[in-house]
Structure 1
Amino acid sequence: MPYLGGTLGIAIRRGEIPGLREFMLQIRPDLNHNKTGGAICTGQEDLETVQTEYLDVLKLRAEYNVYKAVYALAYALHELLQCEPGRGPFSGNSCGDLQRLEPWQVVYYLEKVNFTTSFGDEVSFDENGDVLPIYDIMNWQWLPDGGIKVQNNYILILVSQQPPRSVCSESCPPGTRRARKKGEPECCFDCIPCSEGKISNKFDSTECISCPEDFWSSPQRDLCVPKKTDFLSYHEPLGICLTATSLLGTFICAVVLGIFTHHRSTPMVRANNSELSFLLLVSLKLCFLCSLLFIGRPRLWTCQLRHAAFGISFVLCVSCILVKTMVVLAVFKASKPGGGASLKWFGAVQQRGTVLVLTSVQAAICTAWLVSASPVPHKNTQYHNDKIVYECVVGSTIGFAVLLGYIGLLALLSFLLAFLARNLPDNFNEAKLITFSMLIFCAVWVAFVPAYISSPGKYADAVEVFAILASSFGLFLAIFGPKCYIILLRPERNTKKAIMGRGTGS
């Protein structure tokens, strides 16, 4: 018996039958059928004073089930007797006849029985005719005095179509990982969603797997998908606007170049050094076109060519402006007594040579930069975890700084010389236009540096393209706008007398 301590068992449901004990205590022996051969009963015996297990009505098990069965049959017969003729459930809306009752008719009403006993148990039948199963759980406990105590409780078994599952936690779906609950059995765990960039593609994963470099986790965290790519594209609104502006500037330069070619023999074109004006228009066209290299997915050749083309084109442009300014100063000096020798150093050959030398210096800087630390395309994943930003790294920051610094030096020198020549007589008033154009140029590129440094990814390229286009349009409009106005709209001022300042051209 000591081995039974702590044992669990299952027994038929125990119940109480109201009034049974009182009924049994009222029973008296039948004096006419006393054939036991023992003591003769008097019929006045009091059963309440007798120690017998038949009077223990607190542990009725099989009897309790019989009690419920009889009550179920009684409820079924009661419903059968309540049937009204013509409204019955059988063929022809007939009712069952208690005198000629068929078993299947009783079964029909038994299936609909549903009542609760005074002990609190519900009695009903499912579609298969099975009663709701209720069992008692028995627990034998060994007492200190050597006796056994039986604790009793009951369990209600609900039968379903799905087999019962003996698990503490449901399986973790893909996209999550299992995390065991502290202090609980191994089958008890939480399902923790995978963090961004990690996935799990099977049930009950214990850990999440990191996606490869060029991939990112799907919203459900169950699949690695390719990362989105981001760069200044020809198909997005910003890229379309910049491209259209670049092509517009190129077209306008070509139109003005045609106008100057057509009017090349007029005083306005000849007086402003036509050869340098043509070269300046060509360099401005190159400045507009080089901005297109900054749009589109970066590749090795575009990364290497974009800054080189930008640097050489702008140096060619600023060199032309610088030489034009120097020529203006030389001509004014030559107009004074004893100053004719100064023009010897600013003839056509010297002008071409100066532009060539200044541009060659920039070409040498670009060549050294490309050879030592060439710009290359780079996949940047620092800005966005779920996106690849394609950009060109400059390779050598010093090389890029020298390239910009050389352009800035020439622009500053041009501005200073033009500023010194701003008060020359009106017949040399191109210096005023150059001063204004270089002021715009310097302002744009001074604002460019902090904007470029603080702009991430494709917006850095957009800032540089904007600076190229803004400075190019500034130079073009400031220098060629007034000349085109006179050539096309005020031809009466396009005369030698008016340009020399001796005409009244209104």
Structure 2
Amino acid sequence: MVFVLDPAKANSTGPVCQLKSFAINGYTRKGDMNIGGIFSLHSGEATSQIPFTELRDIALCKKFTFKVYERLLAMIFTTQEIQKDPKLLPNITLGYVIYDSCTTAAGVLEGAMKLLTGQKKAVPNYQCNTFSSAVAVIGETYSSTSIPMARLLGVYKFPQISYGASVTTLSDKNQFPSFLRTFPSGLYQSIGIAHFILHFGWMWVGLLSDSNDYGLQGSLTVKEELVKAGACIAFFETIPAVYSEAKIQHISETIRKSSANVIVIYSIDTDLYPVMEVTARNNVSGKVWVASNDWAQSYLFAKNEFLRTLQGTLGFVVRRGNMPGFNKFIYRLNPYINPDDIFLKIFWELVFDCKLQIVDNINKNLTKESKICKGDEKLEGMKMDFFKLDDLRPTYNVYNAIYAVAHALHDMISSGMEIKPEVDKIPQSLCSESCSAGYRKAPQTGQPICCFSCVMCFQGEISNQTDSIECMKCPEDGWPNERQNKCIKKVIEFLSYEEPLGITLTTVSVFSALATAIIIAIFLKYHQTPVVKANNRELSYLLLFSLMLCFLCSLIFIGCPTHVTCMLQRGSFGIIFTLSISCVLAKTIVVVLAFNANKPNSNIRKFWGPRLPKILVMLCTAVQVIIFVSWLIISPPFQDENTTSITGRIIMECNEGSPVAFWFMLSYMGILATVSLVVAFLSRKLPDSFNEAKFITFSMVVFVSVWMSFIPAYLSTKGKYMVALEIFAILSSGAGLLFCIFVPKCYIILFRPEMNTRYNLMGKGVFKNGKD
């Protein structure tokens, strides 16, 4: 349907639109199963003058096209032939529903909608019948009308078999999922035309094409192939979709003035007619026209005024085929036998130049001067130049298309598949598909608001409905699920006493503390022995006590942290470990001073005294206490909920408060440990049967190695594993001190009591020479 300006009402207050309908009447003969057909039975008149008051589509719906009617007859003939085959579709009546498209896009769409809905008045997405009015549709003739039809039918996955559309785009199953054809793709014709031109050595060629997909795609492929082979294009002109006298004159002048004698025309005959009309009027001759299949056998060659211009035309045509019995079928045609066939009525009146009286003996087109058909007219014996029954080409493709549908139906029935219409799904008309939950709409630059991209929500955000404009952040204790369409509760993570890692570390801590307590008990039992007394007995007890506290303080790190435990963790760890290292440092200095004080003329005796180690331990530990108290005053450690380090988890951890204070505390411990290591290393070779400096050196090597490895590992670990790493460092470094310093003494006390004498410890006994 289109709106056309009515000249009769031009004097009214404004332009009035009059609704005008296409001549899209149909011919139906229903069966158990029906095949649809849409044919361009009417086309434009042989004139280039189309009034501006009338749309071009309306002007095209005037002239009856005999060559297309031949193809319609082939459809009727083939369905009747199939009906007689006892094996192909037995016990099934095959019918047909045929519409005239008038060679217009509106016409094919109207016919397609009628086939989809099964009603004379097409209502989109509504089907009255249990079954569709057709199981497939044959058509259309041209690519320009097949494309819109294929787009509509593709929405419903409705099979379409074309017998003439050759445009390459129709092979794209993403755009046209249900389009099939018995006609080769235009790609092969374009390549063939290019090779044909190159075969004759024509290297200077003009190109003329339709402005539709058929002409543009085909001619562009020809151009690419020619240019690739080294040929040159003299001109490339396009016939306008809407008639323009100036443009047609320009094309004709370009052809006339061009030195190119070979011109490839990729067009349908109705579009080419105005160009040929002007070209013939300008007396253009001597050109070699290379015709595409759509006009190679056109009615243009039957017009005398075009013969001089088109002489020497070379063209590509589709293959011919044989349809036994088709001639006899046509000869038996009679409008009195088939009064419902409106197309046969039109055909009959044109062929015999008379008017039929078969509908209630009334024909509205009859006048007093009209010649009435007698009823005894016969086609047999007539010279039918409008039919080419001995050269069936596109008509044979219709024949094959009908048989393809019949064989498909036969296979479906044989396999037991029930033929049902697809479920009337409302087609979408959207610039962009909806964004599902978990995504948000992102506008596209330079595009309307309806056109957008779907972007996944950022980490930590969700959208819980379709087409969300923006995403929402989850609360602090929530995290998006995998689809990012809802928030789920975050898993709270900390090093727990109940989990295997926590149980293991707790067991090791308690065992280490018990081992230290056992050594203290051994020392207390053998309190008066030389081994216990050696190198300041009070420092040994203080070191053992501090090591036991170190092992036990690791338990504060396990469990859900609080503000109190966070301060206790850092305070106990820093102060107790400083106390331990201070004791080791004092013991090392005692060894050095004791050796040097016994030398003759030594001045060290002035500074030597029993209070010196205690003062050294107190001073070193006091510095760490001052650091920790300052830390508590400035920015103390506190419980923190880390929601960003690990996705979907809340890490309950202790925040240092002041990282500077934390690293200052570690640095101070590192300095003490380094000094102890250096002093012990330098004094390791002092003469003594039991030189404790050697064992202190080993213990400090272990201590420093553990904490040097701890720092990079600590910085790269997160969550409960960072806490576990800290506990491991505390336990392993404490165990190193305990094992290297005190296990050798326990060994002598328990298993070599004969060595536990002052005489042997001073290096004067037989044990120095390894004798019993």
TM-score (norm 2): 0.45
Q: Does 1:255 align with 2:518?
A: yes
User: How big is each residue's C-alpha offset from its partner over 1:405-453, in whole Å with a ceiling of 9 and x where there is no partner?
Assistant: 3323333333344344333332561222223222332333334334434
Q: How many Å separate the matches in 1 of 2:757 and 2:666?
A: 40
Alignment equivalent of 1:362, drawn from 607, 615, 624: 624
Offset at 1:282?
0.9
Alignment equivalent of 1:293, drawn from 547, 556, 577: 556
Alignment equivalent of 2:463, drawn from 195, 200, 217: 200
User: How big is each residue's C-alpha offset from its partner over 1:380-399, in whole Å with a ceiling of 9 and x where there is no partner?
Assistant: 45544544444433222332
Offset at 1:459?
4.7
Alignment equivalent of 1:441, drawn from 703, 706, 709: 703
For the residue of structure 1 that corresponds to 2:485, the secondary structure is: coil
**Contact 1:330–1:346 (CA<8 Å) still a contact in 2?**
no
Q: How many Å separate the matches in 2 of 1:190 and 1:114?
A: 48
Q: Does 1:2 align with 2:5?
A: yes
Alignment match, 1:216: 479
Offset at 1:379?
3.6
Give the stretch that moved more between structures: 490-499 or 167-176. 167-176
User: How big is each residue's C-alpha offset from its partner over 1:353-388, in whole Å with a ceiling of 9 and x where there is no partner?
Assistant: 443333223212211111112122334455445444
Q: CA RMSD in A?
A: 5.0
Alignment equivalent of 2:762, drawn from 493, 500, 503: 500
Alignment equivalent of 2:741, drawn from 479, 483, 486: 479
Distance 1:224 1:336, change over 3 A: same
Distance 1:204 1:497, change over 3 A: same
Distance 1:236 1:343, change over 3 A: farther
Q: How many Å separate the matches in 2 of 1:378 and 1:217?
A: 22
Q: How many Å separate the matches in 1 of 2:718 and 2:422?
A: 61
Q: How many Å separate the matches in 2 of 1:293 and 1:182?
A: 58
Distance 1:11 1:406, change over 3 A: same
Q: Does 1:303 align with 2:316?
A: no
Q: Does 1:432 align with 2:686?
A: no
User: How big is each residue's C-alpha offset from its partner over 1:183-208, in whole Å with a ceiling of 9 and x where there is no partner?
Assistant: 99877766554444332212333333
Alignment match, 1:316: 579
Alignment equivalent of 1:13, drawn from 12, 18, 26: 26
**Contact 1:328–1:428 (CA<8 Å) still a contact in 2?**
no
Distance 1:343 1:287, change over 3 A: farther
Alignment match, 2:324: none
Q: How many Å separate the matches in 1 of 2:553 and 2:563?
A: 16
Q: Does 1:270 align with 2:533?
A: yes
Q: How many Å separate the matches in 1 of 2:646 and 2:685?
A: 55
User: How big is each residue's C-alpha offset from its partner over 1:3-55, in whole Å with a ceiling of 9 and x where there is no partner?
Assistant: 46785679653469xxxxxxxxxxxxxxxxxxxxxxxxxxxxxxxxxxxxxxx
List alignment gaps of at least 5 residues for structure 1: 17-55, 59-63, 83-108, 145-151, 153-157
**Contact 1:249–1:473 (CA<8 Å) still a contact in 2?**
yes
Alignment equivalent of 2:730, drawn from 465, 468, 471: 468
Q: How many Å separate the matches in 2 of 1:172 and 1:416?
A: 68
Alignment match, 2:489: 226
Q: How many Å separate the matches in 2 of 1:311 and 1:186?
A: 62
Alignment equivalent of 2:655, drawn from 374, 380, 393: 393
Distance 1:284 1:117, change over 3 A: same
Alignment equivalent of 2:685, drawn from 423, 426, 429: 423
Offset at 1:501?
2.6
Alignment match, 1:489: 751
**Contact 2:26–2:97 (CA<8 Å) still a contact in 1?**
no
Offset at 1:217?
1.8
Q: Percent identity?
A: 41
For the residue of structure 2 that corresponds to 1:346, the secondary structure is: coil
Distance 1:161 1:459, change over 3 A: closer
Offset at 1:479?
0.4
Alignment match, 1:52: none
For the residue of structure 1 that corresponds to 2:766, the secondary structure is: coil
User: How big is each residue's C-alpha offset from its partner over 1:244-279, in whole Å with a ceiling of 9 and x where there is no partner?
Assistant: 332332221122122222222333223343322121
Distance 1:366 1:500, change over 3 A: same
Distance 1:119 1:423, change over 3 A: closer
Offset at 1:315?
1.6
Q: How many Å separate the matches in 1 of 2:468 and 2:22?
A: 37
Alignment equivalent of 1:405, drawn from 667, 690, 710: 667
Q: Which amino acid aligns with 2:634?
A: S
Q: How many Å separate the matches in 1 of 2:497 and 2:591?
A: 43
Q: How many Å separate the matches in 1 of 2:452 and 2:424?
A: 23
**Contact 2:463–2:470 (CA<8 Å) still a contact in 1?**
yes
Q: Which amino acid aligns with 1:285?
A: M
Distance 1:213 1:5, change over 3 A: farther
Q: How many Å separate the matches in 2 of 1:291 and 1:166?
A: 66
Q: How many Å separate the matches in 1 of 2:616 and 2:707?
A: 24
**Contact 2:27–2:97 (CA<8 Å) still a contact in 1?**
no
Q: How many Å separate the matches in 2 of 1:222 and 1:361?
A: 55
List alignment gaps of at least 5 residues for structure 2: 7-16, 29-36, 38-63, 67-71, 101-110, 119-127, 146-241, 245-342, 344-419
Distance 1:460 1:190, change over 3 A: closer
Give the stretch that moved more between structures: 158-167 or 398-407. 158-167
User: How big is each residue's C-alpha offset from its partner over 1:60-90, in whole Å with a ceiling of 9 and x where there is no partner?
Assistant: xxxx9xxx9xxx9xx99x99xx9xxxxxxxx
For the residue of structure 2 that corresponds to 1:265, the secondary structure is: coil
For the residue of structure 2 that corresponds to 1:426, the secondary structure is: coil
TM alignment of 1:114-193, pairs within 5 A = 114-116=94-96, 128=130, 164=426, 167-168=429-430, 172-178=435-441, 192-193=455-456
Offset at 1:401?
3.3
Q: How many Å separate the matches in 1 of 2:616 and 2:439?
A: 70
Structure possessing the higher relative contact order (Cα contacts under 8 Å, 6 or more residues apart): 1
**Contact 2:478–2:487 (CA<8 Å) still a contact in 1?**
yes
Q: How many Å separate the matches in 1 of 2:467 and 2:614?
A: 78
Distance 1:467 1:57, change over 3 A: closer
Q: How many Å separate the matches in 1 of 2:616 and 2:692?
A: 20
